Amino acid sequence: MKVLLVLFALFAVSYGAAVQMATCYLTATSTGAGITGTITFAQNGATVDVTANIAGISTDGQHGMHLHQYGDLSSTTGGSAGAHYDPLGTNNHACPPDTIRHMGDMGNWTVTGGAISQTKSLDIITLTGPNSIIGRAVVLHGVADDCTTQPAGGVSPPRWAYCVIGVANPGVGNINTAAAAPVPAVLSAMCVLTPTNALAQNNVSGTIYFEQASAMAPTRVYGTITGLNGTPHGFHIHEFGDVSNIAGTAAGSHYGPLPFPHGIPPFAKRHIGDMGNIYYYSGATAYYDYTNDMISMNGEYSVLGHAVIIHAAQDDCSPPVGNAGVRWAQCVIGVRNPATIPTTLPVGVPTTQDEAACVALYPPTVATTGDGSFASVNSVSVAFVLVAMILAALF
């Protein structure tokens, strides 16, 4: 099995570079009006290059900017992002180059003319492994970090802007191996939707929650959405956690790392990101509730750091991505703050999806019955798929 994985990796890399990249699209909190920008993270040997391009900051000078423990944007003040990210348990706030610091301590950033345009090469930060920053948050503060005061350098509050760190789009042909931490288990995540520019007056908003009983359990996905039009809308997890493009296209295609066709739950063979349709309304509010056996916040195919997209039209199961149209709303899946109380759905919200369109489109050999979960994809089936892909490439 290991040999096959190595061969597959070599095959993938032959078509592009293997990179580790993450991205975060900064938006203002209730105290940081007008701030927007992008922060990128790129592995560069033993360090990570952190590049900030941010505009709309009202005060020039030094401003603290840190990684925080929760990718939770539910609080308009930024408080739901929690404290500095400290998975190593150093319990000591400091600024680089001090190595005895929180992993999230990125020090001060220089604002000139209302903007930050700066790159730092930082140690300690990682984009893979048990301490990965994928699914966590970046917070820009309104004052300078004094690099001494415990536990946060005297900078909180105010929190002026924040974002969830997602898996970056690496460019055509490249392979991004950045991923959320495989351990410890994350059992609750969330995603706060923002509108795209697909409509002249787009006010689609809402919050989507992800919950697992254990690391190997199915994931309940549920949420409340406003601003839709009373018709079904395709609803998917996409491959990149990049919401910097106002049209939603930076998120890439459906998240489908396994070689399955597009489908609708509970259709057994489908992309991990296939969540079917939002179709239930009560008044002007739409609701979604489905326990998905393909989705997990844990393991090799964690959805943390990937994007959720709501489309303009119904997902009709047609290949390759369901013919669901342009993108009306987007967000990046982040680790939920345990203090954030999820939305309670009203009685009567259905917990099923209609797979009839998929059954009509695909032959019986594809429309297999039974458990379609990732847990059921054992090493033998994965090995078979890898062999088939390698042989197809060679011959």
For the stretch 86-116, pLDDT in tens is 999 999 999 999 999 999 999 999 999 999 9
pLDDT of residue 366: 54
**Residue among 66, 274, 306, 336 flagged as catalytic:** 274
CB contact at 8 A, 332 and 68: no
As a whole number of angstroms, the longest Cα–Cα distance in the chain is 65
Is 70 exceeded by the pLDDT of residue 152? yes
Name the domain count of the chain.
2
**Residue among 84, 136, 141, 238 flagged as catalytic:** 238
Assigned domain for 182 exists: no
**Residue among 93, 101, 102, 262 flagged as catalytic:** 262
Query: Greater confidence, 171 or 310?
Result: 310
CB contact at 8 A, 41 and 23: yes
Q: Do both 59 and 139 map to the same domain?
A: yes
Q: Do both 224 and 115 map to the same domain?
A: no
**Residue 63 annotated as catalytic:** no
**Residue 233 annotated as catalytic:** no
Coil vs helix vs strand at 49: strand
CB contact at 8 A, 214 and 187: yes
**Residue 311 annotated as catalytic:** yes
**Residue among 102, 159, 271, 336 flagged as catalytic:** 271
What CATH code is carried by the domain that includes residue 166?
2.60.40.200
pLDDT of residue 17: 83
**Residue among 254, 270, 306, 336 flagged as catalytic:** 254
**Residue 93 annotated as catalytic:** no
**Residue among 84, 233, 311, 336 flagged as catalytic:** 311
What is the pTM (predicted TM-score) of this model? 0.89
**Residue 271 annotated as catalytic:** yes
**Residue 236 annotated as catalytic:** yes
Q: Do both 249 and 371 map to the same domain?
A: yes
Q: How confident is the model at residue 16 (pLDDT cuts 50, 70, 90)?
A: low
Q: How confident is the model at residue 171 (pLDDT cuts 50, 70, 90)?
A: confident
